[in-house]
């Protein structure tokens, strides 16, 4: 038996061990260490053409709120945008926009053209605050309860389905002051 003929077997064993460990993990689970924790300390100026900026204190008003991380360069954000408009019309909670690594003129044009669902906006030009929020990619949507605790984090564009099964029920529960049984 020559040693070189053992190389494929050795490599396979290595891969096999990796796969076995992989079986014990869940790739879909994105660690959201922030859930149940207070929102990070931050303060951001509003995006161009808006007056209300976004800071930690704005998320501790006693009312549940939604924070949506978006950018004008992000295609899925465009997809989810009409749903944010619909959520705004529901009047369940204020929606705030965390504008992530965006050009001031672009985002102003975006909000003017597509409509502005946000009560407050924060311009996170360099993405520093995004890091504190644990942003993986845009869009992401957070639900924050009245005390400033993050209750839920949704990664990726919101779909009608998510609004119906997740966002609206959780907001309704928070408003009614009962613990939500909806799995985030």
Q: Which positions lie near another protein, rule CB under 8 A?
A: 1-2, 5-6, 8-9, 12-13, 15-16, 18-23, 25-28, 30-31, 75, 78-79, 81-83, 113-115, 159-161
Beta carbons of 93 and 62 less than 8 angstroms apart: no
Q: Report the nearest approach of another protein to the CB of residue 158 (Å).
A: 11
Is residue 102 helix, strand or coil?
coil
Rounded distance between C-alpha atoms, residue 173 and residue 177, angstroms: 6
Question: Which CB sits closer to another protein, 41 or 90?
Answer: 90
Which CB atom, from 9 or from 176, has the smaller least distance to another protein? 9
For the bound state, the minimum distance from the C-beta of residue 59 to another protein, rounded and expressed in Å, comes to: 26
State the burial class of residue 183 (Cβ atoms within 10 Å of its Cβ: 0-12, 13-18, 19+): exposed
Q: Shortest gap between Cβ of 114 and another protein (angstroms)? A: 7
Quick one: which H or E segment has residue 21? helix 7-23
Cβ 53 to another protein, closest distance in Å? 26
């Amino acid at each position: 038996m020559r040693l070189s003929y053992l190389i494929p077997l050795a490599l396979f064993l290595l891969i096999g061990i990796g796969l076995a460990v992989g079986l014990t993990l869940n790739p879909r689970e994105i660690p959201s260490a922030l859930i149940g924790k207070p929102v990070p300390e931050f303060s951001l100026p509003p995006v161009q053409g808006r007056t209300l900026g976004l800071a930690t204190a704005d998320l501790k008003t006693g009312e549940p709120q939604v924070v949506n991380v978006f950018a004008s360069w992000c295609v899925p954000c465009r997809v989810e945008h009409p749903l944010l408009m619909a959520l705004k019309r529901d009047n369940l909670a204020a929606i705030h926009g965390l504008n992530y690594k965006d050009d001031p003129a672009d985002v102003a044009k975006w909000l003017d053209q597509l409509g502005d669902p946000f009560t407050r906006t924060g311009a996170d030009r360099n993405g520093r605050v995004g890091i504190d929020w644990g942003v993986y990619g845009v869009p992401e949507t957070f639900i924050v309860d009245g005390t400033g605790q993050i209750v839920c984090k949704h990664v990726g564009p919101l779909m009608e389905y998510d609004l119906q099964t997740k966002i609206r029920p959780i907001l309704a529960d928070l408003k009614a002051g009962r613990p939500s049984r909806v799995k985030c």
